[in-house]
Amino acid sequence: MKATWEKIEKNLGVLDVEVDADRVASALDKAFNKVAKKANVPGFRKGKVPRPIFEARYGVESLYQDAIDILLPEAYSEAVDQADIFPVDRPEVDIEQFAKGETFKFKARVTVKPEVKLGDYKGVEVAAVAAEVSEEELNEELERLQQRHAELAVIDEGASVSGDIVVIDFDGSVDGVPFEGGQAERYSLELGSNSFIPGFEDQVIGMATGDFKDVEVTFPENYHAAELANKQAVFKVKVHEIKRKQLPELDDEFAKDVSEFDTLDEYKEDLKKQLLTRKEQEAQGVRENEAVEKAAANAEIEIPDAMIQSEVQNMMRDFDNRLRQQGMNLEMFLSFSGQSSDDLEGQMKEDAEKRVRNNLVLEQIAKEEKLEVTEEEINKELENMADTYKRSAEEIRSILGANGSLDSLREELLLRKTIDFLLENSVEGAPVEKKEETATEE
């Protein structure tokens, strides 16, 4: 096989491929074996028709498309390796020649990973970040822990209030016609969370267990489903159950229940140390991000839109997975937030572009500095994963190898190593106060 690569723009080129005639013949054989199983030829059972009779009846050309489908993917993959290019989007393929006894010729118009022209990345100034824990932050953390350890008590009597969790059925309609995503059974909704269409939760507040009510709301003007925008909807709501948080007292008994300490003072002292460690880690993350972003800002790259769109789709999948862990999904989120997929993707595009830019710059720095991940470092990470997942390192390696994730792990470790390199070669600037939230994830 012969493959030549010609760049026609910065991130675009044409791959010219010619595949030997013997491989064409092999692909035609495979195509015939596939088609012959279904071919109806009088006098022959399916799968038993001789090749010459099949070709005489249908023509060898009837096999061409199947043969191309078989041969093209493997030929394209080999050509990419031979040309040493890194495609970032599906190619536009133009078949120039395919026939029995002849070579297979095609051209592929390919968008490739962009070239990165690095600017200054050593000696960039990275501000120091203060890592201190105030009394106010300690008290806020205690309140969060108090909320986390609250018990949900079922309220049999009385009306629901903001902050309660109500288990409801709802059935929404517009002009008496149900709409997609407007129905659910035994759905848990925290009142006051503002996760539903504006006005919905306000009208559920005050309902009691067993109550039925028609909740009337108006879809937002910018609602993603144009046919529902500005329309009035009626939700038939039934309350099955009301749950209310019962907060524990912040005292020595609380400390004994949630920790290994006997007194609240001892627990607070330990909690302050944990918060300080966390803030130090966050401060390190802030400094790492600043070092990467400054190096990226100094680089010159023309990022193909395909790479940004691919990253947006990755972010959308991650967001959907997080929603599912909370008992929701993307479709429900869009329905109740009044957004469309395009709206959400548009919000993610800037971050997606930044991620792609940063990763491309880190990859190029790793090449320039000849940074590599050793087998010892791979093994150490596998040991860490083994401790986390309570499996052996050999099992983890086998699982990652089977699903093709071992290379991804190596790439991730190389990115981390490159970030460490940037920070080690940065210059510490004047300290700044860190304002980010220090709450634990609940």
Asked if 123 and 426 count as a contact pair (C-beta separation under 8 A), the reply is yes
Q: How many CB atoms lie within 10 A of CB 421?
A: 18
Going by DSSP bridges, is the β-strand pair 125-129/427-432 parallel, antiparallel, or unpaired? parallel
Three-state SS string across the chain, please?
CEEEEEEEECCEEEEEEEECHHHHHHHHHHHHHHHHCCCCCCCCCCCCCCHHHHHHHHCHHHHHHHHHHHHHHHHHHHHHHHHCCCECCCCEEEEEECCCCCCEEEEEEEEECCCCECCCCCCCEEEEECCCCCHHHHHHHHHHHHHHCCEEEECCCCCCCCCCEEEEEEEEEECCEEEEEEEEEEEEEECCCCCCCCCHHHHHCCCCCCCEEEEEEECCCCCCCCCCCCCEEEEEEEEEEEEEEECCCCCHHHHHHHCCCCCHHHHHHHHHHHHHHHHHHHHHHHHHHHHHHHHHHCCECCCCHHHHHHHHHHHHHHHHHHHHHCCCCHHHHHHHHCCCHHHHHHHHHHHHHHHHHHHHHHHHHHHHCCCCCCHHHHHHHHHHHHHHHCCCHHHHHHHHHHCCCHHHHHHHHHHHHHHHHHHHCCEEEEEECCCCCCCCCC
CA distance 442 to 437: 13
Given this model, what pLDDT does residue 405 score? 85
What CA–CA distances, in Å, run from 158 to 75, 184, 243, 267?
71, 24, 11, 37
For 426, residues 6+ apart whose C-beta sits below 8 A from its C-beta are 122, 123, 124, 125, 126, 287, 291
Given this model, what pLDDT does residue 191 score? 94
In the chain, the domains with their CATH numbers are 1-109 (3.30.70.1050), 150-244 (3.10.50.40)
CA distance 436 to 131: 11
Given this model, what pLDDT does residue 435 score? 47
CA distance 274 to 79: 54
Q: How many CB atoms lie within 10 A of CB 114?
A: 19
For 7, residues 6+ apart whose C-beta sits below 8 A from its C-beta are 13
Given this model, what pLDDT does residue 437 score? 42
Residue in 158, 272, 267 with CA at minimum distance from that of residue 210 = 158
- Long-range CB contacts for residues 215-218, cutoff 8 Å, separation at least 24: 215/170
The stretches in the chain having pLDDT less than 50 are: 434-442
CA distance 356 to 116: 12
Task: For residue range 78-101, list pLDDT tens digits in order.
Answer: 999 999 999 999 999 999 999 999
pTM, two decimals, is 0.69
Given this model, what pLDDT does residue 333 score? 84
Which two structure tokens, joined as six digits, stand for 175?
């002009």
Given this model, what pLDDT does residue 432 score? 62
Which two structure tokens, joined as six digits, stand for 282?
């966050």
